[in-house]
A and B are shown apart, each in its own frame.
Chain A
Amino acid sequence: MRPIVEVINEHSERLMAHDQVVMVYESRTAEGEPCLKIGISCSQDELTVDLPERLEGYPVIVVETGEVAPR
């Protein structure tokens, strides 16, 4: 598999083009496996875009971060 940072940079612009996607980042699953996390501004029930379960072999976890702003 490609390094995860390359996968993020490859796909984040496309993913973030959707209004409900606020960020894409590298993280770990509960089992310690490298994964991508996608922050969304709404609840998963309200999500109107289909997000992948895996990207280039890496699992994708959707996180309800809400909107983000300077704090």
Chain B
Amino acid sequence: MNRLPFRSARLAAMVLLALGVSVGLYACSQDNGALNDQSGITKPDAQAATFTVNHPEIQRVMRIQDAATPDLMGADPLVVGTATGMGPNGDVVIKVYLEDALPPGKLPGQIEGVTVEQHVTGRLVAFKGPPPMDGGNNGADPRAPQTAPVKMGTSGGWRYDLANGFCCGGTLGSLIQSGGTKYILSNYHVLYADIVPGGNGQVASAGDEVIQPALIDVGCNANSSLNIGTLVNNGGSLPGANIDAGIAQVTPGMVDESGAILDIGTISSSTVAASVGQDVKKMGRTTGLGRATVDGLNANVNITYENECAGGTAFTKSFTGQIITTNNRCNFLDGGDSGSLMVEDVTTDPRAVGLLFAGSVTCNKRAIAIANPIGDVLSHYNASMVGN
């Protein structure tokens, strides 16, 4: 997805546990079986579809887990977290996450009849971007949890976007509509890029929830985020199309359906083509409200994608016809801003120009940002912008 700086989340995880948060301590694993309990148990498989966080059995095991957590965490410094999850046979178990394997007998095999599973996850970490910048206008924090209905231009992502010791996320850029249905527009690589079971045992699929904020902003714990939309069939554009776009159907009541973008406000339902020298702005999860100038058009560029969060190489896509903007020291686009809508820099109802998706990795004065022409994005989905 993106290459965000990371830091240890162990302290945050321990605080959550100390507060009695039983479900949702989220660890990433190199153990394929360890993460079927994404965010605890709110991502059941088809055979366990009746198990939700409110299920009586889940509630019972969570209480046992809560009570046992201090002893489990204190058993050895290598214990980095606990969670309630699904065992391989579909039973509800207590999962204990370990920085490294423990000798046999160090932890109990069962607690009050509930199986204790050990998973070597390594240290728990969360991808974190730098504090958001607001362009000097003291704008709102795009990483903060919103109250429904949420605005666009805020942190968001696929609910299960963690693997290989990291969790990921991006920006919920804007709203589009097609056939009377409204969709959140972000990037393929923010919403749909997990295409291998790999480090988390699953792939992004239609029906999966999209959350606000993204996992990277809630310590990898999806239970601290709102489900605001769902992935749809053919919602991701890559590797086939010449755009990096992903859409999620809006969950009724959860999204501001005016299409308003945080710190930008409502936008126009019309779009405008990019032109060299055009002033543009965007609201993104990492750098907040930022401004730039279009520097180039018709760009041909190769972009390499990962196959899941912090995963291996999936494919390299050769894009044509892209928009290039200045990105001085990545102040306009940095890791986590992907999915932002780039609009013309006017105060009232700006028109959309492009969908930001890539940029320079080295943040010097010559850094650039890359956007898909918004017309190409809307044509792909036979959609229009939601706005005035």
Contact = CB atoms under 8 A, between A and B. Distances in A.
Interface in B348-388: 356-362, 364, 366-370
Given A8-B300, A26-B276, A66 B338 contact: no
B45 to A, nearest CB: 29
B297 A70 contact: no
A8 B302 contact: no
Contacts of B145: none
Contact of B364 (A23, A37, A64, A71): A64
Contacts of A16: 300, 302
Contact of A69 (B295, B320, B336, B358): B358
Given A66-B361, A67-B360, A27 B276 contact: yes
Contact of A24 (B244, B299, B366, B368): B299
Contacts of A24: 299-301
A27 B244 contact: no
Interface residues of B, number: 42
B357 A71 contact: yes
Contacts of B306: 70
B362 A70 contact: no
A23 to B, nearest CB: 4
A12 B276 contact: no
Interface string A29-50: 0000000010100000000000
Tell me the dominant secondary structure on chain B's binding face: strand
Given A66-B360, A69-B304, A70-B1, A25 B322 contact: yes
26 contacts: A4-B298, A5-B297, A12-B300, A13-B300, A16-B302, A23-B301, A23-B324, A24-B300, A25-B299, A26-B297, A26-B298, A37-B295, A37-B296, A39-B301, A39-B368, A65-B366, A65-B367, A67-B361, A68-B358, A69-B3, A69-B303, A70-B1, A70-B338, A70-B358, A71-B2, A71-B356
Interface residues of A, number: 25
B208 interface: no
Interface string B278-296: 0000000000000000011
Contacts of A54: none
A69 B305 CA distance: 8
A24 B276 CA distance: 15
Nearest to A11: B300
Interface string B311-346: 000000000101010000000011111100000000
A20 to B, nearest CB: 12
A27 B362 contact: no
A63 B365 CA distance: 11
A64 B369 CA distance: 13
Nearest to B339: A71
B149 interface: no
A24 B301 CA distance: 7
Contacts of A71: 2, 333-338, 356-359, 369
Given A4-B298, A5-B298, A70 B244 contact: yes
B65 interface: no
Contact of A63 (B3, B358, B366): B366
Given A9-B300, A66-B367, A68-B368, 19 more contacts: A4-B298, A8-B298, A9-B320, A12-B300, A23-B370, A24-B300, A25-B296, A25-B300, A26-B298, A27-B295, A66-B362, A67-B362, A68-B359, A69-B304, A70-B189, A70-B303, A70-B306, A71-B336, A71-B337
Contacts of A64: 364, 366
